[in-house]
Amino acid sequence: MRAAVVPEAGADFELVDRPIPDPDPTEVRIAVDACGICHSDVFVKEGTFPGVSYPRTPGHEVVGRIDAVGADVTAWSEGDRVGAGWHGGHCFTCEPCRRGDFLLCENAEITGLTFDGGYAEYATVPSEALAAVPDDLDAVDAAPLLCAGVTTYNALRNSDARPGDVVAVVGVGGLGHLGVQYAHAAGFETVAVSRSPDKRDLALDLGADHFVDASETDPAEALQALGGARVVLSTAPSADAAESVVGGLGADGEVVVVGIPGKPVPVDAQHLVGTRGAVSGWGSGHARDSQDTLEFSDLRDITPVVETFPLDEVDAAYDRMVENETRFRAVLDLT
């Protein structure tokens, strides 16, 4: 098989021929149809995540079909259409796992980071890390939903927002353009907040009821004019962007951070006390969360905006992603 490999931290990708791997007893092998390229892949490419061993094949937005099943796997069969996201498996025995909180497993595996991922024609994945992919959801569209999709969908559905509440999405990019769609589909009064006024029409087309140009308008004041936000989903990896919307929270409102800034976020504690508000974080989901995301996206025709690349253009695809030139998710198409 062909695979894109990072030979060592900071090195360029190498396209190599490798033997097709055999699954361990608790794994399946996926014939990969598509794999998204995510900013978190920088952890592998640049070696900024502790414990990465090299050479390593990145990729945690993997979609394909099972073509081999480990001897102990009973829940999946050859031919099943599946996906694998960031959460690459759990131990079942640590305290969070015993409480069913698999996302916080103390010994969690990470697809494409602790084991080889989907920048390849085949990948082996622990069976508990698999999500079923609806048959009529295109592989290229499904891939980003296993990271950007589950992160935004899961954050919103685990919030206290209810249909009709004001929910703002900060940033209309790789995460935010999906967050706007999910917020609209959930029945929220959806506000898109962006410093790029040229994204107004896109945001409204995706389902936003309001667009706030944060380059010209104080977003907190704009949200207060709408009655105050119950939830603000902060998808832009900017501390300033997250700080700017705290003052826009209404009673019992919450800023949920999913785009991780490179520095701490200052918080107006007085406003939080006065509104019983909060600033919290949310990180993707486990395999069942990913499957829920895929099923809901299929039900409501929610798809990402993508650019596709063949495997042999992995360098160009990765570079466009790192330089924020992709509109909005880069996907390797291996079909």
Residue-range domains of the chain with CATH: 2-147+285-333 (3.90.180.10), 150-281 (3.40.50.720)
Residue with tokens 């790192």, as numbered in its chain:
322
Distance CA 158, CA 2 (A): 39
CA torsion, ordered 104, 109, 113, 118, to nearest 10 deg: -110
pLDDT of 20 strictly over 90: yes
Q: For residue 325, what pLDDT is reported?
A: 96
pLDDT at 302 over 90: yes
Question: Model confidence over 191-226: pLDDT tens digits?
Answer: 999 999 999 999 999 999 999 999 999 999 999 999
Mean pLDDT confidence for 74-98 = 98
SS3 for 10? coil
What Å distances lie between residue 308 and 58, 143, 172, CA to CA?
A: 17, 11, 20
- CA 233 and chain centroid, separation: 13
CA distance 233 to 254: 9
pLDDT band at 51 (very low <50, low <70, confident <90, very high): confident
- Inter-residue contact 217 to 154 (CB < 8 Å): no
For the CA atoms of 245, 246, 248, 253, the dihedral, rounded to the nearest 10 degrees, stands at: 130
Tokens of 141: 């569209």
Is 126:25 a contact under the CB 8 Å cutoff? no
Calculate mean pLDDT across residues 299-322. Answer: 98
Residue 236 has pLDDT above 90, yes or no: yes
> Judging by beta carbons within 10 Å of its beta carbon (0-12, 13-18, 19+), is residue 146 exposed, middle or buried?
buried
Q: Rounded mean pLDDT of 91-97?
A: 98
Say how far apart CA 83 and CA 32 lie, in whole Å.
9
Categorize the per-residue pLDDT at 327 as very low, low, confident or very high, splitting at 50, 70 and 90: very high
Average pLDDT in the 5-32 region? Answer: 98
How much is the pLDDT for 130? 98
pLDDT tens-digit series, residues 145-187: 999 999 999 999 999 999 999 999 999 999 999 999 999 999 9
Residue 18 has pLDDT above 90, yes or no: yes
Helix/strand/coil for 194: strand
Answer for the pair 108, 87: CB distance below 8 angstroms, yes or no.
Answer: yes
Cα gap 324→326, rounded to integer Å: 6
The pLDDT of 239-251, averaged and rounded, is 98
pTM of the shown model: 0.97
Report the alpha-carbon distance of residue 42 to residue 319 in Å, rounded.
Answer: 10
